[in-house]
Structure formats: C-alpha cells, structure tokens
C-alpha cells in the first residue's frame, strides 16, 4: 500500500456516505419501461439495429457504435421495442433519439451471450479490446468516455501506469465503495484485463481513506498480483478527477486541454468499468446494468441498487420507499458535479452513479452577496484558475477576457462555489462562459 497526499486545491466537504454506505447492493428489479438513449456517451450517437415492434432479449445489441469515438448499446432485459423516438436526455439537457423497450418480465438471455473465459493468460490483447468495444463499455465514473478508445491509444504514446479510480470523492455516493467491498475479486480481474487490453504493466488502485472496508477488500484481492498496488488518498474533493488523481498519486501534471492523461503516460478508468469488463469476459453479458446509489436525506431508505440502464428515476426512488419529505432537489450524480432534474420520469444512463434527493429545507437558498475578495475560490480551485475573475468577466459578457483567463480549463467541479462565503454562483457563470466560447470556436471552425 502507498500513501498519496500530493495535489493542489480542492475542498474538505462532509462526505455524507454513512447514509447508504452500510447498505448492501440490492437488485432494483425490472421497471415497466426502459429508455435507452442513443447519445449517452462522449462521441457520436449509436445507430439503431432494431425497429419498433421487434422482440429483444437481454444482452442483445440494439444499437451500433458509429465512428471512432462512440459506443454500442444492448437490451438490458427481454421485451418489445415500443418506439424509437426523441426523449429528454437529462445529462445532456436536450432531446435525443432513444430506443424504448417494454419488458416482458421473462428476463430472457440473448443466445449470442456467451462467456469468453476467466483465464487472462489465455485471452489475447486483441480479444480484450474486442470485448470492450462490443460490450459498449464507457467510463462509469460519470464521464462516459468509450473505454475502447483509451485502450487503443496511439502507438507513439508510451503508457507506463494504469490508475483504477475508486476514489468516489463526491459526497453521498457509495456505488463504487460497495462494489469494491462486495466484488473486489471481480474488480481486480477486470482491472488486470483493462491493463492487458492497454498493454500497461503497472496498475495502481486509488481509494480515499474514508473507505476502510473497500481498501481492505481491494488489498486482499490484489495481493497475488505484484503488478498491482493500492494507493490510499486523504479525503479531499475533487480528488477523483482524472487530472487531480494523476497529480496526487504520481506527481505528474496533465497539460491543459487538449492535453490528456496519455500525454503523461497514464490511463485512468473507474472501478465500475473494470467490473463491467470482468462481467463481459466471465459471462458474456455486455454493459446493461450498473450500481446506482439512491440516497440523500430526502429518500426514505438510502440504498445501493443494481439497476438496468434506462430505468426511470421515479422507479428507483419508489424502490427505496419514496421521498421522506417534500423534495427540494433531485440530482443525477453527486451534489457537486451532478445534474439537477425537474422530472423524475427521465431515465438513468450508463454514467449515472447516483440519484440524490435533498429535502426542501436543505436547498432553500440565501441571497447572493457581493464578492469580498477573500480569495477562497482561488485557493480551492484544483486547476489553479482564478474563478472570481473568470466569473466576473462572464457575468459582464467579456467572454474574450474569460477565455484568456483559461475558462475552458475549468472542470466544473463546483469547489469554488462551495467555498464562496458570498454564495456567488461562480461555477454557473464559468459554465456559461465555456458554452459561449465553445460556440464561438465551433462557428470559427465552420468558416
């Protein structure tokens, strides 16, 4: 075990993991309808392989990846395709095409689903890559970047270390924690398979020190493999961001965008992604379900559910006993980087690690006050930006100045807004500046 404590910025936030952290993973069951968005990963939307009226089975491929950065989709259970129609995708915040499946309750497995094997020595690197591609694997920590693209890195890049991200630094969320506690051997197998797929010989499993049971389980499971070690990090948000993690564990600084972890010889994947690959290799089942923490003071019985991709949020909240009081906010993900939703009929996507419900009294807002130039937002920024200045430029429509102050480097972690004593919506203003700058760049590229 190594202790890692380096890294700049960030904030100490109460982790609130006790709410769902003691609850074992349970099956969420099958809802009345599943909505599989064709755009739920970074990259081009996938292309449907089925039509309305078709019967599908669990694990059957229903949409093909399109282009170099994309991921395919599979039916999470058996049933009938009701429609392929536009539906609101809550993470993207817009309407996109989706395959809607009405389950038949049989949960019948597609005949093409067959195990590859559980002996990594006997599975080639190309086979691992093919399974990753064909299983529709994406980063399950929230980013939903297609995993195959990470493994098939350009030959000129020398990658020496693979980091497995089990940090889960967002308050409340415990999906990764429970997966490591309950399925450590599967996570380690999947990690070794990812390393094989990427051709990387050294692996470090990264966990924050607020998850002692997960650390113990992962140390035990990785003991037989000298190429693996566990790094324990002190709890600090947003330690789990790729760049922050690489700096904290390896002391390497990823260059600003378009710089990537590959540029400093590193690949990072989430523990959920590793486990999904283990499942695909050992059983043949592609990515059709994931662990979701349904938690917060606003639900009756916080829990960790194994949910089918495409399950409506309202169904998951019902499974944990419904709201405990009048809900103030429902968030997909954690409180710092999650997406607030108004309608709980929307469905979860591959990258949904949590559904967080905060009661009304917890989100009642106090007025925004003028900046007092305390500098706390600057101290908190893990990217070493000047949030106070970027936000001020954005609020006054000086977008070029915001761009010069590196607005596009912001990872929207929310740490600056969290520490601001004047409750200034810094992240929101910076996000606005980023959207404006991105639109300007797109327009310039078209000319």
Would you tell me which residues interact with ligand SF4 (CB under 6 A)? 371-377, 380-383, 385, 387-388, 410-416, 419-422, 424, 426-427, 430
Torsion-angle region of 151 (φ positive above 0: left; ψ -120 to 50: alpha; else: beta): alpha
Complex with ligand SF4: residue 133 or 424, whichever CB lies closer: 424
Beta carbons of 195 and 203 less than 8 angstroms apart: yes
Shortest Å, Cβ 46 to ligand SF4: 30
**CB of residue 95 to ligand SF4, shortest distance in Å:** 27
Least distance (Å) between residue 227 CB and ligand SF4: 33
Helix 184-198 with 271-283: angle, nearest 10 deg? 90
Place of tokens 């693996």: 228
Residue 400 CB, nearest distance to ligand SF4 (Å)?
A: 18
Paired with 359 in beta bridges are 327
Return the SS3 of 99: strand
Q: Which is nearer to ligand SF4, 229 or 253 (CB)?
A: 253
Q: Is 208 helix (H, G, I), strand (E, B) or coil?
A: strand
Residue among 81 and 388 whose Cβ is closer to ligand SF4:
388
Rounded least distance, CB 244 to ligand SF4, Å: 10
Cβ proximity to ligand SF4: between 81 and 383 the closer is: 383
Residue 247 beta carbon to ligand SF4: minimum distance, rounded to whole angstroms: 13
Instruction: Dig out the tokens for 339 from the structure.
Output: 């997406």
Burial class from Cβ neighbours inside 10 Å (0-12, 13-18, 19+) for residue 76 reads buried
CA 336 from centroid of its chain's CA atoms: 13
Q: Specify which residues 289 forms β-bridges with.
A: 308
Quote the distance between the C-alpha of residue 153 and its chain's center: 21
Cβ closest to ligand SF4, residue 301 vs residue 406:
406
Which residue from 231, 237, 239 is spatially nearest to 171, judged by alpha carbons? 237
Q: Structure tokens of 170?
A: 């967002």
Q: What is the smallest separation between the CB atom of 430 and ligand SF4, expressed in angstroms?
A: 5
Q: Exposed, middle or buried, 27 (CB in 10 Å: 0-12/13-18/19+)? A: exposed
Q: Which is nearer to ligand SF4, 22 or 423 (CB)?
A: 423
- Smaller CB distance to ligand SF4: residue 233 or 377? 377
- Residue 360: its H or E element: helix 360-363
Please, which residue, 123 or 386, has the CB nearer to ligand SF4?
386
Q: Considering the complex, what minimum distance in angstroms separates the CB of residue 234 from ligand SF4?
A: 18
């Amino acid at each position: 075990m190594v202790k890692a404590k380096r890294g700049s910025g960030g904030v100490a936030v109460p982790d609130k993991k006790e709410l769902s952290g003691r609850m074992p993973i349970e099956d969420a069951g099958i809802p009345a309808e599943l909505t599989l968005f064709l755009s739920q990963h970074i990259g081009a939307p996938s292309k449907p392989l089925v039509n309305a009226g078709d019967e599908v089975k669990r694990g059957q491929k229903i949409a093909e990846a399109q282009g170099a950065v994309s991921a395919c989709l599979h039916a999470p259970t058996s049933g009938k395709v009701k429609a392929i129609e536009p539906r609101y995708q809550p993470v993207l915040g817009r309407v996109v095409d989706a395959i809607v499946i009405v389950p038949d309750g049989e949960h019948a497995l597609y005949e093409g689903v067959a195990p590859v094997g559980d002996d990594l020595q006997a599975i080639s690197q190309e086979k691992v890559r093919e399974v990753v591609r064909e299983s529709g694997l994406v980063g399950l920590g929230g980013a939903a970047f297609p995993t195959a693209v990470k493994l098939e890195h350009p030959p000129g890049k020398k990658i020496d270390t693979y980091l497995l991200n089990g940090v889960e630094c967002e308050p409340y969320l415990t999906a990764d924690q429970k997966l490591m506690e309950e399925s450590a051997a599967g996570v380690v197998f999947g990690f070794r398979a990812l390393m094989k797929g990427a051709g990387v010989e050294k692996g470090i499993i990264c966990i924050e020190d607020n998850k002692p049971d997960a650390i113990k389980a992962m140390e035990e499971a990785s003991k037989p493999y000298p190429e693996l070690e566990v790094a324990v990090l002190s709890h600090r948000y947003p330690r789990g961001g790729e760049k922050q993690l690489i700096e904290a564990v390896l002391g390497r600084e990823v260059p600003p965008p378009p710089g990537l972890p590959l540029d400093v010889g590193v690949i990072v994947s989430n523990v959920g992604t590793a486990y999904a690959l283990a499942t695909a290799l050992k059983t043949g089942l592609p990515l059709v379900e994931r662990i979701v923490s349904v938690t917060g003071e606003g639900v009756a019985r916080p829990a960790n559910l194994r949910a089918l991709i495409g399950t409506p949020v309202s169904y998951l909240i019902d499974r944990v006993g419904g709201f405990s009081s009048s809900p103030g906010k429902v968030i997909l993900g954690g409180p710092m980087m999650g997406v607030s939703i108004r309608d709980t009929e929307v469905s979860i996507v591959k990258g949904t690690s949590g559904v967080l419900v905060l009661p009304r009294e917890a989100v009642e807002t106090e007025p925004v006050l003028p900046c007092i130039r305390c500098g706390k937002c600057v101290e908190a920024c893990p990217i070493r930006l000047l949030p106070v200045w970027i936000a001020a430029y954005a609020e006054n429509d000086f977008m070029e100045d915001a761009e010069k102050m590196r607005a596009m480097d912001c990872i929207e972690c929310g740490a600056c807004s969290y520490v601001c004593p004047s409750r200034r919506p810094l992240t929101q203003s910076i996000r606005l500046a980023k959207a404006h700058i991105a639109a300007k760049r797109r327009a310039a590229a078209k000319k």
